[in-house]
A and B are shown apart, each in its own frame.
Chain A
């Protein structure tokens, strides 16, 4: 089964609305969840997600979501944190501890290999030692040797952003993209994200060996509008596309 991975920034648009949506997520239709911990500088995200961080930062209370985390865990949904290293670096081990006690499986750190490349190996080693998955995040700008080198440090799945940042719509060559990543990392589980819009794109990505998609910008817009029906319909539709 292909992975459907909805993304939410914690605290956006407000705690009540987000909790309401989390309650109705059909757990049999999704595989993983990605939670953005509000960042002070979400610089590799596009305008929509950046805004969610700004608002999330004001609202987020870490006690509110614990019951959801254990609910998803009990239902077999793996949870991943999306966190910027610039935010968590000063209290890194504490933060990983926090995530582990809440049954998160791993972490995606978009700025680690871009802004802190010299610290990447030690950071990944630390996560490995603690039995916490490090999900490599790559984009079209990631050099070939970095893709292979960083991937060797972990066994986990790979998060591949198709665009320079979330919610951006710049022309790209889908077939060539998957061909490149497949040839650099043969047999690896690759999840695509960042600016995926059309069903046709999702179908092509899966046909070319992709193992799943992460959806963020589009969902956040529905949360903002408090559009529960649209949200449920969209998850349903995406599940169908992935299973087709």
Chain B
């Protein structure tokens, strides 16, 4: 385990995959004809975030103040060889996991929440707002905002709000205001509530509410995932992992991660893309949200209300309401455009796993490595277990991103943990 030699492991720059893609990324498209939803981003996002969203800079310098906060919340995170699991599986190759659950808020989400709150603070706005599914992103937003003394208004998908009451307490502890979404705080939320009073809510609805709130209150919207800038910030994960492997004299044959919008996955795998053409890369989604196998690669809305521009991505449709699976963070209808392009071009493969496979994977991981991983991360672990079974004698080095811990998601085990 290499975790605490900060100096050599933490990158000084974020890595942006766009200039290294095999084909051009389709630009965002205005979803309305009356006004430019792309121009509207000027009022929704901090200027610096917007600039980073559309930059072609391969490397973006991480501000010193952000590097310091990264250290404070526990970066670099550990890369651990899962020897107990290897033994349990009788695997002849090696299994490593990068553990983002070791950060202060328990997931990778804080990696982009910090710079977004930092730039918002620098621009002197009234506060920040966002949506959250499982509550991981909301917790990260609340902490980051609190570090920069900004108020945070968080719209939490109703079903998660009900299933995960502890998350709300965490966000409140970090001084965040949390409401279930759809809510009465926005015009859009009130409309959805009127039409579908029993809706479990979706991330798409939450995004729409947060954006409306940002526009009405001179707040800035915090981007959890999907947009390129979030993946760029998350590149600290992959860059650290790359360095950690290098220090161990290892080479990744296989990289596996889970995909909600694509931020932990892109952040973890993209830094390997330019100089590891032979590394196999696998993106796991929930069986209930089969965006890569059943979704279409097309322009689609990022948010249900259609305030944000359309992006070309794999999508199940912006009004797709997925089943209420435990991995709330994987319920999003689409996936980041850069990840979608790499899947479409065959550079990245995809896999889908069921909730049963996930629960089983989480049990095995907990019993061998002691780590109770987040249900989202459990998807990546489940794919890794399948991969090991199918490649028993290959002696490959597999690296999995465990994007978060699941200590607040224990209900996934029901009453028989």
**Chain A residues in contact with chain B, CB under 8 A?**
43-44, 46-47, 50-51, 113-115, 117, 139-146, 164-165, 167-173, 176, 180
Contacts and interface: CB of A to CB of B under 8 A. Distances in A.
A50 B41 contact: no
B38 interface: yes
Contacts of A143: 18-25
B27 A141 contact: yes
A140 B55 contact: yes
Contacts, number: 87
Q: Tell me the interface secondary structure of chain A in the complex.
A: loop
> What band does the interface of chain B fall in when counting residues whose beta carbon is under 8 Å from A?
20 to 34
A178 to B, nearest CB: 12
B36 A173 contact: no
Interface stretch (B46-54, B214-222, B356-364, B377-385): B46-54
B23 A146 contact: yes
A168 B24 contact: no
Nearest to B21: A143
- Which 6 A-B pairs rank lowest in CB-CB distance, beginning with the nearest? A164-B27, A141-B25, A171-B51, A140-B56, A143-B21, A142-B24
A114 B24 contact: yes
A146 B23 CA distance: 7
Contact of A172 (B22, B29, B33, B54): B54
Contacts of B24: 113-114, 117, 139, 141-143, 146
5 contacts: A46-B38, A47-B34, A47-B35, A145-B20, A170-B54
Given A46-B38, A47-B36, A172-B51, A141 B56 contact: yes
Q: In this complex, which of A113, A117, A168 has the most chain B Cβ atoms within 10 angstroms of its Cβ?
A: A168
Interface in B1-48: 18-30, 32-36, 38-39, 41-42, 47
Nearest to A166: B36
B57 interface: yes
Contacts of A164: 27-28, 38, 54
A144 B20 contact: yes
A211 B18 CA distance: 26
Contact of A50 (B23, B27, B33, B56): B33
Given A170-B41, A170-B50, A46 B28 contact: no
Contacts of B19: 143-144
Nearest to B56: A140
A110 B26 CA distance: 11
Given A50-B30, A169-B39, A172-B55, 15 more contacts: A43-B299, A44-B27, A46-B36, A46-B38, A47-B36, A140-B55, A141-B24, A142-B56, A144-B19, A146-B23, A165-B27, A167-B36, A171-B47, A171-B51, A172-B51
Contact of A168 (B32, B38, B51): B38
Given A170-B51, A172-B54, A43 B33 contact: no
B95 to A, nearest CB: 33
A99 to B, nearest CB: 25
Contacts of B21: 143
